[in-house]
Structure 1
């Protein structure tokens, strides 16, 4: 089947009342234009509303990407930063709306940076700049941004990203740990809108990415595991019990 027809069918389904993920003409037209098959391995599934995997990262389903972009609400000429750019699809849709020369993306995984660059170039959005950065630092060289999209969860809006918002700018991100909500944050760091529950992987910092030589799990993962293990011990598992005294 013609890919244009497949894209139209995909967006028609996302606009349907049962999903209602696509509400604006801008997002609808952009998603009908961007060739999603250039960003995934399995072309047969490119226009199905499902999550895929690529290089250890989640390729967002079209409905999730639509929710993010509708919440972000970019406009033509907006300077947009996508943090956790992954394979580059959401950056391409943002570029279709705002203009590819005004969209930048960063990712902590070097392999994904190369992948996103290649995908964007093949899809016709080679003007989008993608750099390898720790997402918590953003991309201050190009700030201030009218729109920032964070495609990873954090318990608080990252301060550096908030500081890189232009006056009246908007940061969209999954907020929370176990229970997450998609929110919009203004340039003061205040949550202004909530768009319902989501489930995203936590934001990684330097050393935690999958392609690191040795993943630095000490601070957040190993410490938490040790705490849970200690408090979870019972009876003979407690190494501090002096059995000889009983």
Structure 2
């Protein structure tokens, strides 16, 4: 497909996300996502972060397989999770589950620095290449156990997790700054909820359920 074809499909994807947001007002508490989030989604070419054979489907609002039993998330879910995270230009963000780097690229447009952890070495290698080709120099990708976070760069203003544990890993809560936010799917496979986790300035943690989701399971791998 040519770049003009992708441009039209990309614009349709953004319009579909806006429409689905209106229908999700009851869950989200608003009818439109942050303009900064929508701008980032408009700037990052999703087709650059999917396997080449799936590029014709890059702008369909659906998850797509990326190998190793993993997927790139549905664009609407990426949009909602990014909006809930409320990333500021000065923030340092921890991402668990790099995949091929699409969510990392969106975060790169919004944050000062992104640290992303991927368990599968080949996906991490490809993500680094794809992010570099798109000029996202403020993303650092590491191969490792996401459940342990990234202590060397903690604490983080924001944490986002793109695979679902049954329970929120304690290390991720610990590495979240007071005043910080985490967006994470969690729960048993048949009853996962997208959660917004907030830590107030005194360190008290609260959670809010957004809506039911279905993510691949967060694998712990070997301890780092």
TM-score range, shorter chain: 0.7 to 0.9
Displacement after TM superposition at 1:67 (Å): 1.8
1:138 is aligned, of 149, 152, 157, to 149
- State the secondary structure of the residue aligned to 2:41: helix
2:168 is aligned, of 135, 138, 157, to 157
Q: Normalised by the size of structure 2, how large is the TM-score?
A: 0.85
1:95 aligns with 2:108: yes
Q: For structure 2, list consecutive stretches of 5 or more residues without a partner in the other structure.
A: none
Correspondence for 2:133: 122
Correspondence for 1:200: 215
Displacement after TM superposition at 1:96 (Å): 0.6
Q: For structure 1, list consecutive stretches of 5 or more residues without a partner in the other structure.
A: 208-246
Displacement after TM superposition at 1:112 (Å): 1.1
1:184 is aligned, of 196, 201, 218, to 196
Displacement after TM superposition at 1:18 (Å): 4.1
Q: CA RMSD in A?
A: 1.9
2:33 is aligned, of 23, 28, 38, to 23
Matches within 5 A, 1:77-116: 77-99=90-112, 102-116=113-127
| Greater C-alpha Rg | 1
Higher relative contact order structure (alpha carbons within 8 Å, sequence separation ≥ 6): 2
Aligned length: 206
8 Å Cα contact 2:47/2:58 also seen in 1: yes
Is the alpha carbon distance of 1:200 and 1:29 closer, same or farther for their aligned partners in structure 2, counting shifts above 3 Å?
same
